[in-house]
Amino acid sequence: MNVNSKFVERNSFSNLLVEETSPYLLQHAHNPVNWFPWCEQAFLKAQKEDKLILISIGYAACHWCHVMERECFEDLEVAEIMNKHFVCIKVDREERPDVDQVYMNAVQLITQQGGWPLNCFALPDGRPVYGGTYFPKVRWIKVLESLVESFEKDREQFMEYATKLTKGVKLSEQPFKENEIEPTKEILIRAVNNWQKEFDNREGGPDKAPKFPLPKNYDFLLSYGFLFKDNLVIEHTKLTLDKMMMGGIYDQIGGGFARYSVDHLWKVPHFEKMLYDNAQLIGLYSKAYSFFKNQEYKAVVEETIAFCKRELFSTSGVFFSALDADSEGEEGKFYVWTEQNLKEVLKDDYSLAHDFYCINNKALWEHHNNILLREKSIEEFAVFLNCSVSQTQEKLKEIKQKLLAERGNRIRPQLDDKILLSWNALMISSLVEAYFATTNDLYLYDATVAAEFIINKNSFQKLIKRNYKSKADKENVFLEDYSTVIESFLILFEATGNTKWAEIANSYLKIVFAEYLDFETSLFYYTSCNQNDLIARKIELQDNVIPSSNSIMANNIHKLHKIYGTINYFDCYQKMLSYNIAQVESYSYAYANWAVLLQKIAMPFYELVIIGEDAKQYMQKFKQHYFPNVYCFWSANENDELEIFKNRFVNGKTLFYVCKNNTCELPVEDFNLLINKLKS
């Protein structure tokens, strides 16, 4: 049966998306628009009927995607025009970040901006010709009609523009020329000096709105402040962490962070909660807790993990993708409170909550609703109440429990129950960081269970699936998946001492070299050489909310070089950095993870190898300290054959080897001496 006849058999309010598993695609499965998923048949239909293609991209938790669906894609008048003149393809950007990458790039070239929903029009062969983001109904109809008319009258001009735009897509974010700049600490100093001009030293974060909590940026700034003893950078990083933690972007009742704040105060969030944000912020606050020993940072870690376990956790031991911004058709309705709501639930405790959460003051939003936030730390609030910190904590805990129970009776935001490989890998890494910071064994257990799930669903040699809700036995796996999984397995190796994790990571890296490598630059394509359904093969360099797949991979290769001593790994990460080192200096906030790698190369960097019966306990003690310039590897097994452990075991002793540039000093046995040595 061909696609056309198969489609005709469906009723007018059901389309081919009903066969998909993505919650976002299923949201559109009963639109009157004849949506196709991303597939070869859609392009064949467009070529056969000589129609433009609409590639419409979004994700399940996207508020403005829902708005455009209601205004346009559920409208019969709009659907009639779209069905008559276009072949319409719906794409979940989280399932197919490669498709999103190409057409987002095209729309940014056309309009100088991007976002979701993303709507890009293309020729039947997939080359883009026009696009934008959100369109209200009247404007959308005008765009559709104008494109139809122009495509019929100015075909040659369309073809010429598509050729130029496709060339631009292929050339954009290509590696700059290889740079012979020496990787020095002076570059880092100049980079941070440039970056500081954009600091908001009143509210934290960048001096603009909206504000995104970019975890890798503050991870780098914290390590920079520590290594360079730069108190201004440390103060700004702490200010940002405090303001995010106390702002509306953080769910003061249930834990977990929203995707971003629409204002400069971290007050009004875009209420969707994404696994990738929360995973990375768990890791960031874990490191910050190790550095500052601030108990509120530890609470953020614990509460955010509790949120993920309560609301995003699957019975398979891995995590779902997101919670929607909307409930009952309104953004944020699930999370906000009127004064009357709070009085009814809290009764005698209302007065305390009123003061702590700034009710009808800074917390006041719209329609008499409050987004709970605070301006005081718990210690400051305890002084304000003239109570002990422990008494204040206990009272606030009771208030949170009451409000969380009451909120549980509301209609919940929709869950995006995709299980994505890379996002779970980010969560594994951060659960291990939380284990290091808090010594809570349950976090390491959860991380290990999730990692075992990945191995069981793939293999020891190769990753096969990105999306574990998808019906497809095999699907495209991207560099992002390999980068984050390798990263998570390497940190598991550091935590468990189990060489299995290092060996699998090294095995996966060999696949990356075989299928993703650009031989000229030593950088890696986002897509495998076996994938051929896109107009361009991209190399992702800039760090975003998730660091770029190449910057993660370069840091992975640095760590694997320290473990295995493989010389071509050394050459590879050095060359990868050489293509990005100039951007680290001039555009550091978009190259923060490259700056992390530069810092490892330009500043003293150590491998600590702990060998002996008590190695695990000393690893745990060591991880209570903040040392961003040290990899810590340990083994209690005298027969461990990994090169870094060979011939180092001595019965009855636990030894500490400090190594730099693959050269080790004589071992020491005194832990305090070791810590003082590293601090100096």
Number of neighbouring beta carbons within 10 Å of residue 309: 13
Give the pLDDT of residue 11.
Answer: 46
Give the tokens for residue 336: 């906000």
Q: Are residues 577 and 611 in the same domain?
A: no
Predicted pLDDT of residue 12: 58
Reading the block at residue 311, the tokens are 């609301």
Domain shared by 15 and 117, yes or no: yes
**Both structure tokens of 199:** 């600091």
Whole-angstrom Cα distance, residue 285 to residue 292? 10
Amino acid at 249: I
Residue ending a domain, among 382, 409, 436, is: 409
For 313, counting Cβ atoms within 10 Å of its Cβ (0-12 exposed, 13-18 middle, 19+ buried), the class is middle
User: How many angstroms separate the most distant Cα atoms in the chain?
Assistant: 86
Regions in the chain scoring below 50 on pLDDT: 1-11
Percent of the chain with pLDDT over 70: 98
- Same structural domain for residues 147 and 191? no
For residue 473, what pLDDT is reported? 60
Residue 406 to residue 346: CA distance in whole angstroms: 10
The answer to whether residues 388 and 443 belong to one domain is: no
Count of domains for the chain: 4
- Domain range holding 233? 185-332+416-602
Query: Quick one: pLDDT at residue 9?
Result: 38
Q: Is 516 in the same domain as 633?
A: no
Boundary (domain end) residue, out of 560, 580, 602: 602
Does residue 178 lie in a domain region? no
563 and 633 Cβ atoms separated by less than 8 Å? yes
Residue 16 in domain: yes
Helix (H, G, I), strand (E, B) or coil at 451: helix
Report CA-CA distances (Å) from 165 to 109, 129, 159, 402, 595: 8, 7, 10, 56, 31
> Quick one: which of 124, 118, 56 has its CA closest to 91?
56
Last residue of a domain, one of 578, 602, 626: 602
Question: In this structure, is residue 377 part of a structural domain?
Answer: yes
pLDDT in tens, 433-451: 999 999 999 999 999 999 9
111 located within any domain: yes
Phi then psi dihedrals of residue 254, to 5 deg: -110, 0
**3-class DSSP string for 386-440:** CCCHHHHHHHHHHHHHHHHHHHCCCCCCCEECCCEHHHHHHHHHHHHHHHHHHCC
Which CATH number do you get for residue 228? 1.50.10.10
Residues 634, 505, single domain; the answer is no
